[in-house]
Amino acid sequence: MSETFDAVDVIRTKRDRGALSDAQIDWVIDAYTRGSVAEEQMAALAMAILLNGMTRREIARWTDAMIRSGRRLDLTGLTRPTADKHSTGGVGDKITLPLTPLVASFGVAVPQLSGRGLGHTGGTLDKLESIPGWRAELTTAELRRQLDDVGAAICAAGDDLAPADKKLYALRDVTGTVESIPLIASSIMSKKIAEGTSALVLDVKVGSGAFMATRAEATELARTMVDLGTDAGVTTVALLTDMDTPLGRTVGNALEVREALEVLAGGGPTDVVDLTCALADEMLTAAGRDGHEVRAALSDGRAMDRWRAMITAQHGDPDAPLPTARVTHTITATERGVLQTLDARAVGVAAWRLGAGRARKEDAVHPAAGIELHAKPGDPVTVGAPLLTLHTDEPQRFERALAALDSAWRIGPDASTPRPLIIDRIA
Ligand code: URA
């Protein structure tokens, strides 16, 4: 088949800081999905985009072309309004677990199409798969039925949802081209727009454990995604939230499910509860539901009831014991003072080395592996007090996990002023 453009010309345009035309973008995404633009050509183009950026028009067209590479889910005709949340990924970020049933308990349907983890941040599906029997795959008909009956579903995105992004994301992962704002924004928003939600709240992480280390970069990413969503007719809001230190007190799949259950039972760590409630408020407002009292739905069991229904609908047993690790190792403080910092990335890498994450997408995760945090920045510590407990099924993993934690925390005479959990709101 003769092609409309030459891939090398498209690469040269971006290499020389030009703007790609709509026709070039449509062609390159389609031809790459079909396999007639080679992986090395797309890798060169992705690097040129990383180095030279894209205009707002180019980003919008690139996103739209990726949506058109697959099928758009049709969620019209549901009995409830829809709202979804997406986090750019962080360490200990289990917020989707309590948030989805919490929002559903107010009569808003949450179609949470999620992924598995790669690298040091965990994937929501990996966490839920630590629940015996739970199944991530739902057909579109099953998803619609569950959204009507239960109001909440967390499931795997089908292969036909933005397939161009699936291919491109895997390529970016191995070519040093993940950290490009136009490519991250279009990757996330193509999937969220194709999923068919009418309201979307973005949790854009800032800090050592996030893609975006600085507030300025995170603001630009949030602005780009909010504009893409709004232009596509999706009510979109972003919160910028801290990811210098892990969220909550657990990192790792089953450990995080346990913590999510504490939140759904009306307890749990303050930061996890506060962020869950802030995002729930935003989702309900974006879906047109006013006058909600989200904290009450955590303490009076309404959100927990919805969780149980959601897990059961996907063949999970909400009462089954969660897996526990074969061995643990506790690190204690060697000085007295206040824990000043605990680095999110180091904890994420250590949990990953204990078996909580995967290095290649075909690897299996160890559901019980991970890290418990006994102290958070701002907490006083004494000599010998436990700081972290490492959980794994394979004791030979401790050595490399401990190496990742080598200079992961600082204890000082007094508390340093922590950054607020919610740094900004962009609408
Ligand atoms: N998550 C995505 O889905 N895509 C990116 O590019 C980065 C994070």
Does the active-site annotation cover 187? yes
Q: Which residues line ligand 1 (CB under 6 A)?
A: 88-89, 169, 178, 183-184, 187-188
Tell me how far apart the alpha carbons of residues 32 and 167 are, in angstroms, rounded to a whole number.
Answer: 9
Place of tokens 């750019």: 88
Ligand 1 closest atom vs CA 115? 3
Looking at residue 358, its pLDDT comes to: 82
**Topology of the domain comprising 84-159+176-313:** Pyrimidine Nucleoside Phosphorylase; Chain A, domain 2 (3.40.1030)
Q: Which of 165, 203, 271, 343 is catalytic?
A: 165
Does the active-site annotation cover 295? no
Task: Tell me the β-bridge partners of 342.
Answer: 409
Looking at residue 386, its pLDDT comes to: 98
**Superfamily per CATH, domain 7-68:** Transferase, Pyrimidine Nucleoside Phosphorylase; Chain C (1.20.970.10)
Strands 386-392 and 370-373: antiparallel
Tell me how far apart the alpha carbons of residues 70 and 267 are, in angstroms, rounded to a whole number.
Answer: 41
Q: How many CB atoms lie within 10 A of CB 240?
A: 23
Q: Average model confidence (pLDDT) for the chain? A: 95
Distance 184 CA to ligand 1 centre (A): 5
> Hey, where are the domains in the chain?
7-68, 84-159+176-313, 327-412
Mutate to test the pocket of ligand 1, among 125, 172, 211, 225 (most ligand atoms within 8 A of CB): 211
Ligand 1 closest atom vs CA 188? 3
Ligand 1: which residue has its CA nearest to atom 3? 188
Distance 387 CA to ligand 1 centre (A): 32
Looking at residue 211, its pLDDT comes to: 85
**Topology of the domain comprising 327-412:** Aldehyde Oxidoreductase; domain 3 (3.90.1170)
Reported as a single tens digit per residue, the pLDDT across 212-262 is: 999 999 999 999 999 999 999 999 999 999 999 999 999 999 999 999 999
Q: Which residues of the chain have pLDDT under 70?
A: 1, 118-120, 361
Looking at residue 292, its pLDDT comes to: 86
Reported as a single tens digit per residue, the pLDDT across 181-219 is: 999 999 999 999 999 999 999 999 999 999 899 999 999
Looking at residue 119, its pLDDT comes to: 66
Place of tokens 């949506």: 67
Does the active-site annotation cover 191? yes
Q: How many CB atoms lie within 10 A of CB 167?
A: 18
